[in-house]
Amino acid sequence: MEFRYLGNSGFKISEITFGNWLTHGSQVENDVATQCVRAALDAGISTFDTADVYANTAAETVLGEALKDERRQSLEIFTKVFGPTGPKGHNDVGLSRKHIMESINGSLTRLQTDYVDLYQAHRYDYETPLEETMQAFADIVRQGKALYIGVSEWTADQIRDGHALAKDLGFQLISNQPQYSMLWRVIEAEVIPTSEELGLSQIVWSPIAQGVLSGKYRPGKPAPEGSRATDSKGGARMIERWMSDEVLSGVQRLKPIAAEAGLTMAQLSIAWVLQNKNVASAIMGASRPEQIAGNVAAAGVKLDEAIMVKIDDVIGSLAERDPAQTKSPASREA
């Protein structure tokens, strides 16, 4: 495992982050989830990402239990706030001071820790003044409940505004957590240049495009039984945009490129996002512990320019690049 600095800070995280969205507390039994966390630790992963909204807080509980006997100083634990939790009442969502202050306390209890290394605004809240949100984050940092603050899926303008307020309040935003893969490049035009200017890194999710870039889905063929594309709990909805024959055919053309690089297609996909210098870490999930070791092998891989060009030639117009796709819901009901 290799490690990278997160933003303009002295804080290092593993190039591969273990994330438990769509799995722990919902799709995967708790004992298997714990086995996945153990496999991640054994593979050298020290960074773990979750959110209070995942499985309506259950994912945090599972992660906290799995990590409780580990040396806390050797881990980087991330969580997020925004989405509806608990009974989903009128104050159980968003980035109001009330929701943030109550949410951090709940997250710390479930994660069985006194602090999180990174606390992230899971989305941008159009209904709460940004000043209120950033003041709450500043207070959480001063209370020692979070060491660093980040955001997730914010636009370049939102990052710029948040960064300026954080600086005025005596702390800094050091990260953004966006979707990023060969097929989803909407952060390249605006978010990454702004982040580079202001000193933020990307911690990217879905580098394998929900499994599509692994090559296991074939054009004209039914999705493999038990795969995310067959998951009625949410996985199928997340993956449907890439299930066209056109996209799946393009992905199959990546196979000889992966073979040339000596990588599996999943490893190639993870290594590809890590070639971007503004990416500090790629988030990897797992529903089985044996999935971890193979994907972790993408850490430290250097792809030569010829390979990168071949990938671009294959993917071409199949990739979504519109910066307008980097956005948060327009309202809390969205």
Cα–Cα distance, 321 to 324 (Å, whole number): 9
Question: Residue holding tokens 């950033």?
Answer: 134
The mean pLDDT of the chain is 91
DSSP-derived letter for residue 179 is B
Alpha-carbon Rg for the chain, nearest whole angstrom, is 19
Question: Residue holding tokens 């990454």?
Answer: 192
In degrees, to the nearest 5, what angle opens at C-alpha 314 toward C-alphas 311 and 316? 100
In this structure, are residues 273 and 295 in contact, taking their beta carbons and an 8 Å threshold? no
Contacts of 280 (CB under 8 A, 6+ apart): 4, 5, 6, 7, 13, 15, 175, 201, 202, 203
Cα–Cα distance, 185 to 220 (Å, whole number): 26
Token readout for 323 is: 């910066």
Residues of the chain with pLDDT under 70: 22-29, 223, 225-238, 330-334
* Residue 288 CA: distances (Å) to CA of 24, 29, 55, 94, 270: 11, 10, 18, 33, 18
In this structure, are residues 224 and 300 in contact, taking their beta carbons and an 8 Å threshold? no
Q: So what's the pLDDT on residue 24?
A: 47
Each residue of 35-77: pLDDT tens digit? 889 999 999 999 999 999 988 888 999 999 999 999 999 999 9
Bridge partners (DSSP) listed for residue 297: none
DSSP secondary structure letters along 186-234:
TTTTTHHHHHHHHT-EEEEB-TTTTTGGGT-S-TTSPPPTTSGGG-TTT
CA pseudo-torsion sign 285, 246, 302, 205: negative
Q: So what's the pLDDT on residue 227?
A: 62
Domains of the chain in sequence order = 3-210+276-298 (3.20.20.100)
Q: So what's the pLDDT on residue 22?
A: 58
In this structure, are residues 25 and 11 in contact, taking their beta carbons and an 8 Å threshold? no
> φ and ψ at 166, to 5 degrees?
-60, -45
CA pseudo-torsion sign 273, 157, 124, 108: positive
Q: So what's the pLDDT on residue 25?
A: 47
Residues with a known catalytic role: 54
Q: So what's the pLDDT on residue 157?
A: 96
CA-closest candidate to residue 115, choices 152, 85, 87, 78: 78
Each residue of 131-156: pLDDT tens digit? 999 999 999 999 999 999 999 999 99
DSSP reduced 3-state for 81: strand
In degrees, to the nearest 5, what angle opens at C-alpha 285 toward C-alphas 322 and 163? 50
